Amino acid sequence: MRVNQLKAGAILSYLSLILTILISLIYTPFMLRKLGQSEYGLFSLINSVIAYLTILDFGFGNAAVRYTAKYRAENNKEKEHAFLGMLFLLYVGIGIIALIIGLLLIFNIESLFQNSLANWEIEKAKILMWIAIVNIAISFPLSLFQSVINAYERFVFIKGLQLVKNVLMPVLMVLVLAMGYKSIGMILVTVILNLLFNLYCIVYCVNNLKVKLQFERFNIPLLKELSIYSFFIFLGIIVDRVYWNTGQFLLGIFSGTVSISVYSIGVQFATYYLSLSTAVSSVFLPRLTAIDVKNSDSNEISELFIKIGRMQLIILGYILSGFILIGEDFVTLWAGSEYSDSYWIALILMVPLTIPLIQNLGISVLQAKNKHAFRSVAYVFIAILNIAISIPLIKAFGIFGCAIGTATAFLVGQGVTMNVYYYKIIRLDIPRFWLEVGKILPAMVLPGIITYVFKQCVVLKGYLGLAIYGGIFSILYLICMWLLGMNTYEKNLAREPYIMLKTRAKKLIMR
């Protein structure tokens, strides 16, 4: 049951992401033309500011998954229900704090952006922030139930529900934009769907999982343990916000909404790249927690680390190589020539990001083993470095300086520092990891070189030309990866869907 849930959860995660990206690629050009560069830049700026309020989660979301899974493994319902009741009350308090901070931001928005935003942009920003902070305040306590569902390993339900939400979101936004409501209508759609999603999770937890919240006196020893565990995850959340939202914020102060819009499109592609990697690794946190509770040795985790890392590189290598080949032509054709620099922003971010992405399971390993303190503290210093170098780089090179600052932080913090820590402290077999990963590189590079030569010899224009280049590259990538890159385990994994469909087809024929 658990293995099936893990596999189904991973499949649904990727299906959801692929559909989300495809739909987003279809509706984003429509959105950009309806909003214009300035209003899209404003919308992105407000999202980046509001994103900082989500750090008030303090890492309790991850803690909810870990401790609920732990109490389930121990079959201790009483502790589980008391823990969830305590956490719910904490989230209510956090929601109130988020509301207060949001109001302070609204009252001071002129002083923050008076040198870069027009008067109409400031007034609209206030409306957008009012709606967003109410959504954040309500979402904090309700989000607890998503963590519970993940802890219970009901991945088919939660990933399926997210799939529906991710499909509905852009569809409804297109309708709202077509009706002329622009950014205010878009943020209202987000709020309504988030509320419905959270309410449905509550109903599922109560009716299907029989989850109860017991409101008793706070368990102070548990609260201290929870705070210590969550604190370092909280630091990690801060770092993530610095990496992905500070750029827009700094550009809002030093540049303006047009620069934000170009930078945001580049970040959007890097975020797609990031999401595809984390989809599978996030499914394994409860399993790793169970492994830790049962005191299994680290060999099992190390083996899983290598397996998932290779599979992630096979997928990410295809995306990165393809983007390098046809990304610039696609962005210009898709978003317009005014967004051509977005390609280079995306590429600057995606290349160094590949290192931590293929090791993304390491985050779950650290959380499951309760050894994430070093990562969080180290990343805080790297995040400070990111901001420190980004400000002068933005002044000197604009949006490119912002991307270079973030890319440098990726290389120093997530590339070099964490690999040393995984090897020396966590005892993961990092030399073997890179040896196994390195075996994939020839199969990843060769189809890119062949397709590039063809692209230089045969010049094709438009979406049809991009489709032909992409098709040739895809076929070559599959062939090279099968012959040169994939091992027996990965080939068997790739055969599973075909074997399953073949078996079902035989059963249907025999009926």
The answer on pLDDT for 441 being more than 90 is: yes
Sign (positive or negative) of CA dihedral 21, 23, 25, 31: negative
Q: What separation, in Å, do the N-terminal and C-terminal C-alpha atoms of the chain show? A: 27
The mean per-residue pLDDT over the stretch 263-291 comes to 70
Q: Is 165 exposed, middle or buried (0-12, 13-18, 19+ CB in 10 A)?
A: middle
The answer on pLDDT for 296 being more than 60 is: no
Q: What percent of the chain has pLDDT over 90?
A: 26
Of the pLDDT bands very low, low, confident and very high (cuts 50, 70, 90), residue 285 is: very low
Residue position matching structure tokens 């339900």: 157
What is the pLDDT, as a whole number, of residue 294? 41
Residue range 449-478, pLDDT digits in tens:
999 999 999 999 899 999 999 999 999 999
* Angle (CA) 114 119 123, round 5°: 100
The answer on pLDDT for 10 being more than 80 is: no
Q: What is the 3-state secondary structure (H, E, C) of 366-404?
A: HHHCCCCHHHHHHHHHHHHHHHHHHHHHHHHHCHHHHHH
C-alpha to C-alpha distance for 369 and 98, rounded to whole angstroms: 30
**Per this entry, what is the length of the chain?**
511
Of the pLDDT bands very low, low, confident and very high (cuts 50, 70, 90), residue 2 is: low
Residue of higher predicted confidence among 301 and 342:
342
C-alpha to C-alpha distance for 260 and 29, rounded to whole angstroms: 16
18 to each of 13, 208, 363, 498, how far by Cα in Å? 9, 29, 23, 20
The answer on pLDDT for 239 being more than 70 is: yes
Q: Domain map of the chain by residue range?
A: 2-438, 439-511
Residue range 201-211, pLDDT digits in tens:
999 988 888 88
Given a contact cutoff of 8 angstroms between Cβ atoms, the answer to whether 149 and 158 are in contact is yes
The CB density around residue 208, as the number of other CB atoms within 10 Å, is 12
Residue range 49-84, pLDDT digits in tens:
888 888 888 778 888 888 888 888 887 888 888 888
What is the pLDDT, as a whole number, of residue 445? 92
**Greatest pairwise CA separation for the chain in angstroms:** 73
Residue range 82-111, pLDDT digits in tens:
888 888 998 899 999 999 998 998 888 888
Chain center to CA of 352: 16
Given a contact cutoff of 8 angstroms between Cβ atoms, the answer to whether 179 and 39 are in contact is no
The answer on pLDDT for 330 being more than 90 is: yes
- Mean pLDDT for all residues in the chain: 84
What is the pLDDT, as a whole number, of residue 478? 94
Of the pLDDT bands very low, low, confident and very high (cuts 50, 70, 90), residue 342 is: very high
The packing angle between helices 257-281 and 341-358, to 10°, is 30
Of the pLDDT bands very low, low, confident and very high (cuts 50, 70, 90), residue 180 is: confident
C-alpha to C-alpha distance for 496 and 7, rounded to whole angstroms: 11
Q: What percent of the chain has pLDDT over 70?
A: 91
